[in-house]
Amino acid sequence: MLNWLKKYLASPRQLRQLGVLGLNERNLACISAHNPRSSFPSVDDKLLTKLLAEDYQIATPALLGTIRHQAEITRFEGYLPKQGGFVIKPAKGSGGKGILVIQYVSGNRYLKASGEWISREAVQRHLSNLISGLYSLGGHPDAAIIEKLIHSAKDFADFTFEGVPDIRVIIYQGYPVMAMMRLSTKDSDGKANLHQGAIGVGVDLTLGTAIQAVQHDRPVFIHPDTGSPLEKLRIQNWHYLLDLAARCYDMTGLGYLGADLVVDAEQGPLLLELNARPGLAIQMANGTGVKPRLQAIDQHRAELRGPAEVSEVRVKVAQQLFGKQVCSARQLNVE
Amino acid sequence: MKQGRSTLLWTALILILLGGMHTAWRHFVHQVPLLPGSQQTYWDLEARVEMEAEGSPVKVRLAIPQSQPGFLMRSEHTASPGFGVSFVEGDQRFAEWSIRSATATQWLYYRAQFQFDPKRHIPAVDHAPDLKPSTWSQPLQAAAAQVLRRSWQESADSFSLAKALAERISNEKNQNGRLLLSEMSASEAMVNLLNDAKVPARVLYGLKLEDGRRRQALQQLVQVFDGQNWQLFDVNSAASLDVTGNNYLLWQQQAGPILEVEGAHESKVTFSMLTTHEPASSSVNALAVKDALLSLSIHSLPISEQALFKTLLLLPLGALVVVVLRVFIGLKTSGTFMPLLIALAFLEMSLSAGLITFLILVSAGLVLRQLLAYLNLLLVARVAAVIVCVIGMIALFAVISFHTGITTGMKVTLFPMIILAWTIERMSILWEEEGPLEVVKQGGGSLITATLAFLLMDIYEVRYWMFNFLGLQLVVLALILIVGSYTGYRLLELWRFNPLANQNKG
């Protein structure tokens, strides 16, 4: 019995030693303590995030239009691009719910990312549900955002099935502390959400290279649909991407923040959305707990004299603290 | 952060101390025993008179009960703002209220506590009524004679005759019985027939005792005499023809009106009842009523309110279960406190019946929801349609279970319908987006939570404590506060992060 337990359950002591952050602690020590309630709307409402990002010169996917009322639904085609695909998102959605990705339009038929054709009525029905608040955070009435479809950069073509891979960066007090790339799979229906079956690849903060990968919280080594070895993954422009993420802190003022970035084939790095309650799976993808890093940042900030550091400096600091060159033993000593 | 935690611990500690002190006080001063232990069953009965006063003097006369075989009266009192009260003793007891002038709606309360005591011999104070000559109309005469003749042949004494008569009258297939009921009530018919057979009998009003019932009316009972003894018969409910003394209480001892009102109109009287199990040694409730404000006892409220609180006071415990499961285990449920409402519904039925009903309702609801999806409706309308369908299903369920003899189905109505409809909608979306596995996970999580909450709330001692020691509510609150500040790992996280631990080990 005891052996069986040991096989399937980690002991709390082990996890504490690894510095794994649990949900209870995340809710109390990170979200409640560092994220002021008044800043939540700028993150929970994707439309607000987009407008704010514009002010801070952070690029986001091109907005084609918004639909707020049921009556406007029949005219939704007026917002669609002449050619190419589009994405319909709930402004206040969570956990990737209610996102409809259309790759191609042919007459009254719409091709979903999964390769399934759906009718015009089905798109309208989706819009109607969405505006009624089916996907929104408290069931409140919502608005639909129509965005231009993002095309994955060529570097990632071998590492993704249908969908666009995105990069999740956890930013603590403005410093990037951990990053992972999320690759969609057949299992996840082309979506980049880990709990739906996407692959999470931990990314080294200095190099932008893969550390290790998990799917459904369990280790994987090759992409199950394309067969590419995941360790080959390498992200171009990594420094710029981290800086983009770090700037989101200045924009929202949230101390514990998850930034989702994508690299578009034409537009380059874009901010997809922000999350005030980022999940914990990123620790699995990186093979280490995030807590020592949070403590290292706290310590760094306590020792800091003079004005607050700008985003580029913050990225450098984080890279020095958490990058591959630095021996991981040092992180543990901080505790 | 640290300071917040110590404030919290102190708050919790003070709450626990206060709760403990109140509990100790209830125990030592009011002598409420800590364990249910040896019990006596008490029935608290309350009559509420409601009327529209006309501005002139008002006089109200309400027939009130007294000790009778099986029930010993322990205490009685009235609540009536501004009215003068007097009790009229005699063969039939009355409570009389009067006031010089009153306007608008007036409420008068009469409350009595009876101790259920089948062993003690409480003499019946009655003497049999006189026999009345029967007054059958022409067409009924033959039918009455036939019913009486058949029943007479099947019976040996007055009581068995009454039983046979009651069976005939309540039997819907009996032509003669139907004919009699076309002109009079079943009770009157039975009394007339018994008088024909020279058996003294009369119609009296009594209460059918059921725990936690509110706004009930009195029922007609037939009192049948055989020399010094008498028995009660309920002709109207075919199921329990023979009144065995423990679930009917006679409200009047002599035939006559229950309520007489002068100076007001639209008067009516309704009854509430509640059963409590308390130690025989002390009359706890009488004490509690005396210094109601000091003891902050629920027992000082009107009985209809008390019945509500009996369930309400259990809810904090259920909430604690939900919090513990979420924070320590990490169980996913659909809707945070939905399981609690389900558990409440379980309390009214049995667990297995509740679980089966819930599963049937939700799965049938999911199928219906799929059909509704084809109609292309707005979200609010769709959920409303699901509500209608769920209620329809519940009605169907109740009818089917009634006719197949399963009575638990009747109580399905207690399921929180609106919440259920939303649950169905959410689960249906979950099915589409995340697959059936997630539906099973969340549905299972909800059911496990509901079951555990039910099992805790269903423990007899727990119910006794929560109802009798209000201080325990503060203790539950303190526990919730403490659990709410736990920052350690959840049990399911130990499983989730297990690969991480293994990989760093090896």
Domain ranges of chain A: 15-57+153-334, 63-148
Which of B482, B498, B502 is most worth mutating to test chain A (most A CB atoms within 10 A of its CB)?
Answer: B498
Reduced to 3 states (helix: H, G, I; strand: E, B; else coil), residue B501 is: helix
Residue of B425, B433, B489 with shortest CB distance to A12: B489
For chain A, the distance separating the N- and C-terminal CA atoms, rounded to the nearest angstrom, is: 33
- The answer to whether residue B504 sits within a structural domain is no
* Position B129 pLDDT exceeds 90: no
Reduced to 3 states (helix: H, G, I; strand: E, B; else coil), residue A56 is: coil
B1 contacts A29? CB cut-off 8 A: yes
A28 contacts B494? CB cut-off 8 A: no
- Give the model's pLDDT for residue B38: 60
Q: Does domain A15-57+153-334 have CATH number 3.30.470.20?
A: yes
A22 contacts B487? CB cut-off 8 A: yes
Residue A66 DSSP class:
E
Dist. CA B408–CA B238, nearest whole Å? 19
A9 interface with B at CB cutoff 8 Å = yes
* Position B283 pLDDT exceeds 60: no
- The answer to whether residue B342 sits within a structural domain is yes
**What is the three-state SS of B30-71?**
CCCCCCCCCCEEEEEEEEEEEEEEECCCEEEEEEECCCECEE
Reduced to 3 states (helix: H, G, I; strand: E, B; else coil), residue B230 is: strand
**What is the three-state SS of B125-170?**
CCCCCCCCCCCCCHHHHHHHHHHHHHHHHHCCCHHHHHHHHHHHHH
Give the pLDDT band of residue A315 (cuts 50, 70, 90). very high
Over residues B401-416, mean pLDDT:
64
Residue of B488, B494, B496 with shortest CB distance to A24: B488
Give the pLDDT band of residue B404 (cuts 50, 70, 90). confident
- List the single residue in B with minimal CA-CA distance to A195: B434
Q: Which amino acid is at A221?
A: F
**Token code pair at residue A46:** 């994707």
From the CA of B349, how many Å to the nearest CA of chain A? Answer: 31
The string of pLDDT tens digits covering residues A46-89 is 999 999 999 999 999 989 999 999 899 988 888 888 888 899 99
Least reliable range by pLDDT among A146-160, A297-311, B70-84: B70-84
Dist. CA A148–CA A111, nearest whole Å? 15
* Position A334 pLDDT exceeds 80: no
- Give the model's pLDDT for residue A199: 92
Please list every residue in chain B whose beta carbon sits closer than 8 Å to the beta carbon of residue A121: 376
Least reliable range by pLDDT among B124-128, B265-269, B361-365, B458-462: B124-128
- The answer to whether residue B187 sits within a structural domain is no
Return the percent helix, strand and coil in chain A, to nearest 5: 40, 25, 35
Number of domains, chain B: 1
pTM above 0.80, yes or no: no
Please list every residue in chain B whose beta carbon sits closer than 8 Å to the beta carbon of residue A25: 487-488
- List the single residue in A with minimal CA-CA distance to B437: A196
Share of chain A above pLDDT 70, in %: 95
Which of A3, A15, A128, A194 is most worth mutating to test chain B (most B CB atoms within 10 A of its CB)?
Answer: A15
- Give the model's pLDDT for residue B241: 45
Dist. CA A88–CA A127, nearest whole Å? 8
* Mean residue pLDDT across chain B: 81
Share of chain B above pLDDT 70, in %: 88
- The answer to whether residue B489 sits within a structural domain is yes
**Token code pair at residue B427:** 């689960």
From the CA of A56, how many Å to the nearest CA of chain B? Answer: 32
Give the pLDDT band of residue A308 (cuts 50, 70, 90). confident
Q: Spell out where chain A has E strands.
A: 63-67, 86-90, 100-106, 109-112, 117-119, 144-148, 166-172, 175-183, 199-203, 210-215, 218-220, 256-264, 268-275
A269, A241 Cβ separation under 8 angstroms: yes
- Give the model's pLDDT for residue B77: 82
B480, B320 Cβ separation under 8 angstroms: yes
Taking alpha carbons only, the member of B76, B33, B38 closest to residue B303 is B76
From the CA of A58, how many Å to the nearest CA of chain B? Answer: 31
A–B interface: beta-carbon pairs under 8 A: 90
Residue of B376, B490, B496 with shortest CB distance to A24: B490
Dist. CA B158–CA B200, nearest whole Å? 9
Residue of A14, A25, A219 with shortest CB distance to B501: A14
Dist. CA B60–CA A231, nearest whole Å? 91
Range among A216-230, A282-296, B145-159 with highest mean pLDDT value:
A282-296
Dist. CA A165–CA A157, nearest whole Å? 9
The string of pLDDT tens digits covering residues A9-51 is 888 888 998 899 999 999 988 998 999 988 888 888 899 999 9
The string of pLDDT tens digits covering residues A245-269 is 999 999 999 999 999 999 998 889 9
Please list every residue in chain B whose beta carbon sits closer than 8 Å to the beta carbon of residue A9: 491, 494-495, 498
The string of pLDDT tens digits covering residues B306-350 is 777 888 899 999 999 999 999 999 988 888 888 888 888 888 777
Give the pLDDT band of residue B412 (cuts 50, 70, 90). low
The string of pLDDT tens digits covering residues B289-298 is 455 444 556 6
Give the pLDDT band of residue A335 (cuts 50, 70, 90). very low
- List the single residue in A with minimal CA-CA distance to B492: A9
- Could you tell me the residue range of the domain that residue B424 belongs to? 311-496
B497 contacts A10? CB cut-off 8 A: yes
Measured between alpha carbons, how far is residue A135 from residues A27, A98, B337, B371, B446 in Å? 22, 6, 19, 21, 20
Please list every residue in chain A whose beta carbon sits closer than 8 Å to the beta carbon of residue B425: 134
